Structure 1
Amino acid sequence: MEKELQNFKIARFALNARYDDIGEASVEQLKRHLLDALGSLIHACNKPAIQKLLRQLQVMGEGGKCKVPLIENLPYDRAAQLYTALIRYPDFMDNFMGKEATCHPSDNIGPLLAVAQFGPISGKDFLAAMAVAYQIECRLVLEIPVMKEGIDHTLLLGYSMTAGIARLLNLTEERTAHALGITGTSISPMVSSRASYTYEWKGFASSLDALNCVNICFLAREGMTGPVAIFEGPKGFDDVFGMKLDYDWDSETFELLPRCVLKKYNVEVHAQATLEALDELRKQQQVNPEEIENLELTTFLTAYHIIGSGAYGNRQIVETKEQADHSLFYAAAVLLLDGEVYPEQYEPERIKNNDVQQLLKKVKVSTGFPLHQPLIVAGILDPYTVAYPDKMKTKVEISMKNGQTLTREQEDYHGFFTRPFTWNDTIEKFRRLSNNIISAEMQEQLIGIVRNLENLPEISTLINLLAAI
């Protein structure tokens, strides 16, 4: 008997997974992640890069059935694009980390907010679609880590977005499988969008996924067919990347949701534990940045390559927000100077200030083993890399001008799955990101709606409030 194609198995899980199987703890986590994403969405509203997208949308033409923040109604696909860009641009959203790749599961929320307006969708329906999309993206990151081949993780995001959208549209299993095939052959982004020097597109790549996946699913709804053997067929994943997806989706659960994490600091996720260790050392020892001779940060290979001037390029040249939030050098320096890393630390005048530019030159980033190639060998011999992603081992050493050396080691951070954010933590972050943009009354309304989301008969209650921003 011929083996069933992965697309059909993914489709079956996406369409048949039950809300009751998510579990109470994971439902609460999903709601916290949603509120966290909405904080970023609101904070992004006035950012210059978002204004560029708004002007482009207005040129393309407003009008449609979707309510969105900031401008008039949009068609479903452009609404998905805008929602996703708003959530993604600050780069302060959630993460999932695999051994060889990572992703931002909350990238899936934007298209769900748009497509949920196509028909009556309850709070439980929305949370179930969100859980399905989160689980599928995280699973694919583990099974086929395309980032190591130079392909961006937004390729895998395309599959999870498509699955979540298909669930809300109530597509058939066959049409969902075809939609997944179209997605896989249409969205093939390169990871160079995150390499140095990093530009604005890093914060918008997932929004184009959202636009495309909504289009694809509505086409599939009309019966459009696509290459369903995208993983197994000629020139498919196995042929091109040597990555074989042979996962038992019929036995899939929501076990990866608890491994999703939130950010404490507004910087790339692999910097979080290092920054918390540095922050604690700064506060305990009352470190004066002007008296620092040099700062040595030891981390694991993934962090070194992405934000420590490894394979992704030089991270000590920092002139813009997009480069700064992917530079461990800048993040460490600005934390020592300002005592925090929030969006304010990425304003142009802050980045260009001489104090932070001089201090970041004193930062050195290395791993626990001096050789980084071959990757398999380095990964075995480096204790920091061996522990990742179950732990985020890091060591901070500050050498002062008076000869004193201050050291701290750490294995996680507040926001990691071993020390997750509570509701109070999430609400505090949400309020700070949305202060002076929406009223305190609207803040409380949004918090109340999200905390009670599973009891909402229609998600339109949330949509209408977001559209009022």
Structure 2
Amino acid sequence: MTDVQDLARFVADANFDDLSEQAVEQLKIRVLDTLGVAIGALDAEPIVAIRGLIDDLGGAPQSTLIGGGRTAPDRAAFFNSALSRYLDFMDSDLAKGETNHPSDTFGAVLAASESVDGTGRELLTAFAVAYQVHARLSDVAPVRAKGFDHTSQGSFAAAASAAKALRLPEEQIANAIAISGTANHALRVTRTGNLSHWKGLAYPQVSKEGMFAALLASRGITGPEEVFEGNKGYRESITKPFELDWLAEDLERVTRSIIKKHNAEIHSQSALDAAQDVRAQAGFAPAEITGVKLRTFDVAYSIIGGGEEGDKRSIRTKEEADHSLPWMLAVVLLDGELNPAQYEPERIVADDVQELMRTVEITPDDGFSARFPDEMPAELEVTLRDGTVLRAERSTYEGFHTDPLSWEGARRKFDALTAPFTSEEQRDAIAKVVHHLEDAHVRELTALLAEVRTTRA
């Protein structure tokens, strides 16, 4: 048995009945969260452009596009994953050397499951597979330090979960994973320097290609059976030697993943909570701020704080803003929140945000770094003109795996994001199907998603 064959057996054997009640509930919360973030992005400029391209290209009408229309499963996987990824408000899984976003795979799982008239139980099981595969590979085989993107592990997860949702047999699952895992490894430059639209589209590309690999495998196309351990394979070329016994894995990793409270890169969440805490203190006045200092853990500093992935003070676009910790701290100190409204173009470049951002100093702390990823420590110090120093410290937040988001909390976020595009009746209907997804068919959900408006009311 090769490694990919072991992985395929794990995927083939995955069963809804193996999931704990907690895992099922957290999967449904993540389905609702993913759909809310997706619907909230329907009128974003890049999404509108992609939808126009898909309409021009056409495609066999097998899978539903959120907002209406149907196309081929691989194109639906790309579009719906682009929706759920664009706002950068999706969930995350933290590993010491890698951060990943398993919910980015949902577009592939949804498209695949609908195309075979799948059940909610099947969809949830395939989604659990996506979390387990992506997160466990990130644990043992991080690639960021070698210049590859976290979508690298996603290439295996997308194919595995799509193949599971398509009900492929074990041999075809192995081929789907091998094809996708050989062909799709993006460069980390996606998230360094001045960021482009591709920052939000790199995983949708993998979602599409994982879906297409599963479709190829379903027609008998084979892939390299030693994709992991073979000559010039994944271990030798991209990652490092690692061991992972897939046959000893469960489907519970979703319970360790975390959901964003703020519409911002995941490592900023506790720091932004600290900024809100400072705002709530007596004497705080944004106009009186003369200095902002943040101590944080090394991963946050490296990715969004001005460390190895580039300066974070030249901010002109949404893609740059949601990956700049100085900008995000400034806007929360000024506005008290960071939600899609803060990413309006005029707010991103407003003088008050730009000026306050330049007073922010960020330093990594070895002690804080040692506590990551079990915690996300952040200590914020804001100095006012009269010499007053306001301080706040956070190590977790609501939505972290030690303080998991409840269904009620997920529903509040879903309602806030989708209200411009849905009626209260539509929101209730979608939430009801998701909350009882194990008793529904996927097409009941996609029929509701097709009725969502693509423009704001």
**TM superposition score normalised by structure 1:** 0.94
Does residue 1:14 correspond to 2:11, yes or no? yes
Alignment of 1:67-466 (within 5 A): 67-241=64-238, 243-285=240-282, 287-368=284-365, 382-456=366-440, 458-466=441-449
Does residue 1:48 correspond to 2:67, yes or no? no
In 1, Cα distance between equivalents of 2:354 and 2:421: 30
In 2, Cα distance between equivalents of 1:160 and 1:242: 16
In 2, Cα distance between equivalents of 1:419 and 1:211: 33
Is the 2:33–2:410 Cα contact (8 Å) retained in structure 1? yes
Could you tell me how far 1:69 is from its partner in structure 2?
Answer: 2.5
Could you tell me how far 1:18 is from its partner in structure 2?
Answer: 1.8
Is the 2:143–2:239 Cα contact (8 Å) retained in structure 1? no
In 2, Cα distance between equivalents of 1:117 and 1:91: 25
* AA aligned opposite 2:91: D
Is the 2:411–2:431 Cα contact (8 Å) retained in structure 1? yes
In 2, Cα distance between equivalents of 1:14 and 1:259: 20
Per the alignment, residue 64 of structure 1 pairs with 61
Per the alignment, residue 450 of structure 2 pairs with 467
In 1, Cα distance between equivalents of 2:15 and 2:282: 51
Note the alpha carbon deviations across 1:72-95, whole angstroms, 9 max, x for none: 321111011111111111100100
Is the 1:63–1:72 Cα contact (8 Å) retained in structure 2? no
In 2, Cα distance between equivalents of 1:238 and 1:424: 42
Note the alpha carbon deviations across 1:419-438, whole angstroms, 9 max, x for none: 11111111111100011211
Could you tell me how far 1:71 is from its partner in structure 2?
Answer: 4.8
Does residue 1:29 correspond to 2:29, yes or no? no
Could you tell me how far 1:67 is from its partner in structure 2?
Answer: 2.0
Is the 1:276–1:413 Cα contact (8 Å) retained in structure 2? yes
Q: CA RMSD in A?
A: 1.2
SS at match of 1:285: coil
Could you tell me how far 1:127 is from its partner in structure 2?
Answer: 0.6
Structure 1 residues 163-172 or 331-340, which shifts more?
Answer: 163-172
| C-alpha distance 355-14 of structure 1, shift in aligned 2 (>3 A) | same
In 2, Cα distance between equivalents of 1:351 and 1:103: 26
* AA aligned opposite 1:468: E
In 1, Cα distance between equivalents of 2:208 and 2:238: 26
Which ranges of structure 2 fall in alignment gaps of 5 or more residues?
Answer: 453-457
Is the 2:107–2:207 Cα contact (8 Å) retained in structure 1? yes
SS at match of 2:211: helix
Structure 1 residues 250-259 or 239-248, which shifts more?
Answer: 239-248
Is the 1:62–1:72 Cα contact (8 Å) retained in structure 2? no
In 1, Cα distance between equivalents of 2:244 and 2:123: 25
Per the alignment, residue 371 of structure 1 pairs with none
* AA aligned opposite 1:442: Q
Could you tell me how far 1:242 is from its partner in structure 2?
Answer: 5.3
Is the 1:98–1:141 Cα contact (8 Å) retained in structure 2? yes
* AA aligned opposite 2:360: V
* AA aligned opposite 2:412: E
Note the alpha carbon deviations across 1:92-124, whole angstroms, 9 max, x for none: 010000000011110111011111122221111
Note the alpha carbon deviations across 1:393-433, whole angstroms, 9 max, x for none: 11101111101111122211111111111111111111000
Could you tell me how far 1:286 is from its partner in structure 2?
Answer: 5.0
Is the 1:318–1:330 Cα contact (8 Å) retained in structure 2? yes
SS at match of 2:310: coil
Could you tell me how far 1:289 is from its partner in structure 2?
Answer: 1.0
In 2, Cα distance between equivalents of 1:21 and 1:245: 26
SS at match of 1:263: coil
Note the alpha carbon deviations across 1:249-289, whole angstroms, 9 max, x for none: 11101242211000010000000001101111211335211
SS at match of 1:134: helix
Note the alpha carbon deviations across 1:28-72, whole angstroms, 9 max, x for none: 011011101111111111111101111221232255222212353
Could you tell me how far 1:187 is from its partner in structure 2?
Answer: 0.3
In 1, Cα distance between equivalents of 2:176 and 2:15: 21
SS at match of 2:382: strand
Is the 2:68–2:451 Cα contact (8 Å) retained in structure 1? no
Which ranges of structure 1 fall in alignment gaps of 5 or more residues?
Answer: 369-381
Is the 2:158–2:207 Cα contact (8 Å) retained in structure 1? yes
In 1, Cα distance between equivalents of 2:433 and 2:169: 31
